[in-house]
């Protein structure tokens, strides 16, 4: 798919070990207190003031995901990893590492198919298969979010909420799937960030070294502007 087509489709459409253990056992809920997931697509970081949430799609992959995890750990930032089921099957140790280092899981479909025109039954089967693939790596893993591939939602928000997952959108996508160079990614993020934004980036789907470098550079820049890194809302 060309960069232009990919962009069009997408627009359309560390914590302590005890906390990580809570995520594995499903006893720690990263969202706001109380309430069940709803079909409302959330795109806002939790908390007041200058807050931001970093989220990463299409992984894990064995090259860039470990590098990204090391960067997040060094800067003590928790993020959401929107995992594809087929990649969870390929790299279960990386899924375990994501959870062990205190990050939060998100269902990103089994193999990144466009679910926008799928029936509720087809969507449910895909999401359940993805959760099963994730939980084969991390038994009883807590998976509080779902993000539709390409942002093509269709009936997925209602189905995801019924399965206990909050649909997760974004306010800022820096188009790192192109990729345009680290300096440009840094510029797009710093120019486009707004208070409360959920930021969409990628740790899979290709060479994401530029994304990892941009994350490493922007965390201290945003903190210097008073930003705090939080998780997305969870209704």
CATH of the domain at 203: 3.20.20.370
In a domain, 83, yes or no: yes
pLDDT value for 47: 96
Rounded to an integer, what distance in angstroms lies between the CA atom of residue 167 and that of residue 99? 20
Of the candidates 87, 108, 202, 234, the residue annotated as catalytic is: 202
How many CA atoms are closer than 13 Å to the CA of 134, on its beta-carbon side? Answer: 32
pLDDT value for 15: 35
56 DSSP β-pair partners: 81, 201
pLDDT value for 7: 38
- 64 labelled catalytic: no
pLDDT value for 234: 87
Burial 201-217 (b: 16+ CB within 10 A, else e): bbbbbeebebbbbbbbb
In a domain, 33, yes or no: no
Rounded to an integer, what distance in angstroms lies between the CA atom of residue 175 and that of residue 3? 9
Rounded to an integer, what distance in angstroms lies between the CA atom of residue 115 and that of residue 97? 28
Of the candidates 57, 58, 126, 203, the residue annotated as catalytic is: 57
Cis amide linkage into residue 176, ω under 30° from 0? no
Q: In the structure encoding, which two tokens stand for residue 191, read together?
A: 């120019």
Instruction: State the first-to-last Cα distance of the chain, in angstroms, to the nearest integer.
Output: 35
Range of the domain at 73: 3-26+50-229
Which residue blocks in 101-208 are alpha helix, DSSP H?
Answer: 120-137, 156-162, 182-192
- 57 labelled catalytic: yes
Task: Output phi, psi for 225, to 5 deg.
Answer: -90, 5
Closest CA relative to residue 26, chosen from 181, 135, 170: 135
Cis amide linkage into residue 60, ω under 30° from 0? yes
Closest CA relative to residue 139, chosen from 177, 90, 92, 175: 92
In a domain, 155, yes or no: yes
Rounded to an integer, what distance in angstroms lies between the CA atom of residue 168 and that of residue 3? 23
In a domain, 88, yes or no: yes
Number of domains, the chain: 1
In a domain, 165, yes or no: yes
The mean pLDDT values, 10 residues at a time, for the chain of 235 residues are 38 35 36 71 96 98 98 98 98 98 98 98 98 98 98 98 98 96 98 98 97 98 98 90
Q: In the structure encoding, which two tokens stand for residue 29, read together?
A: 């809920």
In a domain, 43, yes or no: no
pLDDT value for 203: 98
In a domain, 199, yes or no: yes
104 DSSP β-pair partners: 80
In a domain, 42, yes or no: no
pLDDT value for 235: 73
């Amino acid at each position: 798919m060309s960069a232009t087509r990919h962009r069009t489709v997408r627009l359309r459409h560390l914590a302590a070990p005890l906390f990580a253990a809570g995520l594995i056992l499903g006893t720690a809920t990263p969202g706001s207190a109380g309430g069940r997931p709803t079909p409302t697509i959330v795109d806002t970081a939790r908390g007041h003031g200058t807050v931001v949430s970093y989220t990463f799609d299409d992984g894990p992959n064995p090259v860039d995901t470990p590098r990204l995890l090391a960067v997040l750990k060094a800067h003590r930032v928790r993020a959401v990893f929107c995992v594809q089921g087929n990649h969870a099957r390929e790299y279960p140790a990386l899924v375990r590492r994501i959870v062990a280092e205190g990050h939060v899981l998100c269902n990103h479909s089994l193999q990144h198919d466009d679910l926008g025109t799928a029936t509720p039954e087809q969507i449910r089967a895909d999401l359940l298969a993805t959760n099963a693939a994730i939980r084969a790596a991390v038994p009883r893993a807590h998976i509080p979010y779902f993000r539709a591939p390409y942002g093509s939602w269709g009936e997925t928000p209602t189905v995801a909420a019924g399965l206990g997952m909050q649909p997760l959108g974004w306010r800022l996508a820096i188009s790192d799937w192109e990729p345009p160079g680290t300096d440009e990614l840094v510029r797009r993020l710093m120019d486009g960030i707004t208070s409360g934004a959920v930021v969409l980036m990628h740790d899979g789907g290709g060479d994401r070294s530029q994304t990892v470098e941009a994350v490493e550079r922007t965390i201290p820049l945003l903190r210097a502007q008073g930003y705090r890194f939080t998780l997305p809302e969870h209704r």
